[in-house]
Amino acid sequence: MAQTPSASYSIIVRCQIENRPGMLGRLTSAIGAAGGDIGAIDIVRQERGTLVRDVTINCRDDAHGQTIVQAITSLDGITVVNVSDRTFLLHLGGKIAVVSKAPLTTRDDLSMAYTPGVARVCRAIADDPGKAFVLTIPRDAQRAFRVRALRAG
């Protein structure tokens, strides 16, 4: 059974296209014939006699993405300038941040929230593991955890 193209294997292909009638149609037809699912087409810039466009394409997997790029590369009047994997673009520089729920405006605030203040909280949890739910997990997560625990047991 063939896998359906999806955003998890999507690419952005930057193409330099001769600015003449029918060229965009040739590009999109080649992508469709190769089984790609076009999500967006954006004009990056217009130059003398050419347009530079970013084409977002959902693929089945990495190999399928390469097949689509090869199909585009074979077109006269169209040059592939760059290919970016959208999933890797999302992960550049990381995607998760730790953000304080309490304002940390002074050195004292920081000392209470982090070192050395956090050590006291860790010791309290070590002495009474039940405090972990109160001191470390948001209330909604606590409620969900307790519901799962009750169902399990």
Cα–Cα distance for residue pair 13/57, rounded to 1 Å: 8
Asked if 113 and 102 touch (Cβ cutoff 8 Å), the reply is yes
Domain range spanning residue 137?
107-152
Q: Which residue has the tokens 């969900």?
A: 144
Instruction: Give a yes or no: residue 96 inside a domain.
Output: no
- Long-range contacts of 45-48, Cβ-Cβ distance < 8 Å, separation of 24 or more: 46/19, 47/16
Are 111 and 42 in the same domain? no
Q: Indicate which CATH number applies to the domain containing 67.
A: 3.30.70.260
Is the predicted pLDDT of residue 134 greater than 80, yes or no?
no
Are 61 and 129 in the same domain? no
pTM of the full structure:
0.66
Are 114 and 87 in the same domain? no
Are 111 and 84 in the same domain? no
| pLDDT tens per residue across span 71-128 | 999 999 999 999 999 988 887 776 667 777 788 888 888 777 777 667 778 888 899 8
Structurally, the chain folds into a number of domains equal to: 2
Q: How far is CA 59 from the centre of its chain?
A: 15
- Amino acid 132 reads A
Are 83 and 136 in the same domain? no
pLDDT value at residue 83: 98
Contacts of 86 (CB under 8 A, 6+ apart): 7, 10, 11, 12, 56
